Amino acid sequence: MKLLRALIASLCLTVLLVQNPPVALAQGDDPPVVDILGRPDTLSHPPLASLEVSVVDRKSGQIIEGLDESNFDVRISDEAVEPIVALNTTGLAVVMVIDRGGIARRNDPRIGRAVDLARALLDTLSLDGSPNADMAALIGIRGQDAGGLTPLVPLTDYDPVAVSNEFDALLTEVVDETTPLYEGIDRAISWIAENPDVAIQDKLANRRRIVFVFSDGIDRDFSDESHEALIVDRANKNDILIYAVQMTAEGRTTESDSLNAVAVQTGGTYFVDSAETHEDVKARFQDVITQRQAYNISFPVIRPAGEYRVEIRVVNAPGGSVSDSEEVISRLQRPGLSLVAPPNLTVTVPYSKDIGSFTTTGLPLAVQVIIKDGASRDLPEVVYYANERRIGTSTEPPDYALTWDVTELERPSDEPIARTYTIVARSSDPYLEEAIQTEPLDVQIVWEERAETLKTVTEDVTRSASQMWWVFPIFGVLGLGLLIVVVLLVRTRGQLARKVVQNTTVAIRGVTQRLGGGGALPPATGKLVVLQGPRAGTEFRLSSSAVKVGRDPQVNDFPLNDQYVSNPHLSVLQEGERCFVQDEGSTNRTRLNGVVLPPHQRQLLAPDAILELGQTRVQYKRLGGATRVLGSGETVSGTGDQGFAPTRMAMGPTHPGEAAKTEYELGDQTGRK
């Protein structure tokens, strides 16, 4: 019967070794014990994977400290990746096996020494219920019956008293029968590798797993060599270290070759306990406790979704090099890309047969990036196409907005004067380097003919010039005066020069506003009202075809005295009864109803529209319209797009009290600084 058991065990061992080859070892007498604890985690911070690696000195049983990135060669499918290494506390999972056969006979002191060692081991563990707490269980082998192999105390991370109470019971029970040592060790391995409690399994995943055996090393019911090999293979397959303590009788020093082989081949240690060595064995437990620490290895898994083999090799470590491998799961998927439909899918472009398109018309475009795998990332760029012709590129997340100037398009020569353009946006995934594209979106561009002609424009200019011949001498005088003022400013740099410049500028602006009106101001169709900012409450009537708005009164028609506003910041343009706004390349940009305007592109200014520039909010009103008053708590957002903050402009010297007493009138503007 024993021979048959041996043959079966040998056959099983051969199959197991083929399916699960041993950990690769490099040259060296005593290479460290390297085990990946649990499976790599790719859920917490994709696409980074992280795992715990235990590196134990084979001689001392201590964790090898002081390793860094240079000591870990990480490869995914044989391709090297860069790791991030840190030493963490993970905790131990210890199953104590006390084989009572042969040592628990009447008046045998060995059971007392075994319990004393187990109690000392328990005292070194930290069973406090914390996330990194140790875990402990106790099996007291008695006989062949099922009860003799059932854990007296299942794995616990919070109740050391339950284990300690069972020690007292072990001291009082006499066991005369033969006990199944290897079945007890096998049961301890199963209790770690195949624990029926799912919650316990989760806690075991990243802990260093150890089986501590206290025995006389005798198991008469099994062939030591065959069953020993099966135990070793199963322990190695589940990254379990076996520490064996042989309890020797008085006057006997015979060692157990089987226990020694099981311990050494699993990466553990073999001890011989006697009355003389008892305290030395106890002291060695402190070395084992250092294995509560393990190295956390993080590395990128830039692979399409699937399962890959990761190999961790420890190099340049005491004792030589050794590796372990595990399966790692990539969850990366290509992001989705979707076009955000513009407010209108039909865009009208005003044009004249003689002068072409005479106003800039833009179509706002944007995309939505859909992350499917939890690995947030910015796209390198988004390229927009119309009928497969590249129309622009954006690198500004999250929506990669772009305004397409449709007036650049060639107008159709046939009727109807309209054309459909198919818009798509394309990009690539920075991780997987795979192309992504939106679904197509059709927009219609309609060219609307207007009465304006080049001939009409030329005639109007000629007529105005002949009627206003008197203006040219005035400009000559004003130019000379301005030259004199500049000289004064350079030479004096004083307040007088600044006032002269200011007054001269105002005079020039007043004359300019009156050109073409026979000496009278043209009728104003709208006004700008400062709702919030340094000049809140001020109104400016738009009686000129072009009004510059900015910081400095010497440069702008409508000065705002706002340090975050440029010179000029924007222009308000009137064409008939329509009004447009154009950002003049300002530092802090302009918002129209919360949308950042592209520089040097005209946008229609609808009644009651809100302009934000610097720390000032301005509302455009048709004359006769009521001005909305800001509610309590409303403020001007001084920021642009995400994380954008206004930049303070360089200011010239100021004079205390000057702003409080200066009054001015520009066109139909009245106000007080």
φ/ψ of 275, rounded to 5, equals: -60, -35
Six token digits for residue 10: 């040998």
φ/ψ of 201, rounded to 5, equals: -60, -40
The residue whose two tokens read 């206003």 is: 468
Six token digits for residue 203: 């806690």
Q: How many residues does the chain have?
A: 673
Instruction: Note the pLDDT of residue 432.
Output: 94
User: pLDDT tens digits for 123-176?
Assistant: 999 999 999 999 999 999 986 554 578 888 999 999 999 999 999 889 988 888
Helix (H) or strand (E) holding 604: strand 603-604
The residue whose two tokens read 């399994």 is: 201
Q: How far apart are CA 208 and CA 211, in angstroms?
A: 10
Low-confidence ranges of the chain (pLDDT < 50): 1-28, 146, 223, 454, 457, 497, 501, 506-507, 510-521, 626-673
| E strand segments, 433-488 | 435-437, 441-449
Instruction: Note the pLDDT of residue 601.
Output: 92
Q: How far apart are CA 242 and CA 264, in angstroms?
A: 8
Helix (H) or strand (E) holding 10: helix 2-19
- Rounded to 10 degrees, the C-alpha dihedral 252/257/261/262 comes to -70
Q: Which of 213, 211, 261, 258 is nearest to 238 (CA)?
A: 211
The residue whose two tokens read 């390793």 is: 67
Q: Which of 587, 649, 645, 590 is nearest to 618 (CA)?
A: 590
Contacts 24+ apart (CB under 8 A), 7-10: 9/223, 9/226, 9/227, 9/229, 9/230, 10/226, 10/229
- Whole-structure pTM value: 0.61
Q: How far apart are CA 493 and CA 479, in angstroms?
A: 20
CB atoms within 10 A of CB 129: 10
Helix, coil or strand: residue 147: helix
Q: Which of 397, 403, 402 is nearest to 371 (CA)?
A: 397
Instruction: Note the pLDDT of residue 410.
Output: 83
Six token digits for residue 311: 């190999």
Helix (H) or strand (E) holding 53: strand 48-56
Q: How far apart are CA 346 and CA 135, in angstroms?
A: 69
User: pLDDT tens digits for 2-19?
Assistant: 433 443 444 443 333 334
Instruction: Note the pLDDT of residue 358.
Output: 67
